[in-house]
Amino acid sequence: MSKNAKKFQKRQAGKHNQRCSVTPDKVRYRDLEQAKDALFHFKRNAKEQKAATGSTTYNQKRPYECSACKGYHTTSQELGRVKNEVVREKELTIADLILSA
């Protein structure tokens, strides 16, 4: 492995292992794609566990963007019930402003 490749790998690992200050017990994902990927695996595990035991402890429903660590986590809570969730507001257009006037 080249010197540059090693350097790159170390940096990636460090960033990935970074913990969130408000929810340190939660796994932190660098981007939405990683969070979605994890959720996909959760759901598959849930299906397998439910088939095997009749119930499941995997209850994660959706990924969300965290305002505290600028990363992503998964949650079992509905939209608007998660602390530190970044909710992207739809930008108002001129048409919306005229309609609300």
Amino acid at residue number 26:
K
| Choice between 35 and 69, CB closer to Zn ion | 69
C-beta of 22 vs 92, nearer to Zn ion: 22
Q: Looking only at residues 8 through 47 of this chain, which bind Zn ion when binding is defined by CB under 5 A?
A: 20
Which residue, among 81, 98, 79, 99, has the nearest Cα to 89 in the 3D structure?
79
Q: Does 68 bind Zn ion (CB under 5 A)?
A: yes
Q: Is 54 left (phi over 0), alpha (psi -120 to 50) or beta?
A: left
Query: What residue ranges bind Zn ion (CB under 5 A)?
Result: 20, 66, 68-69
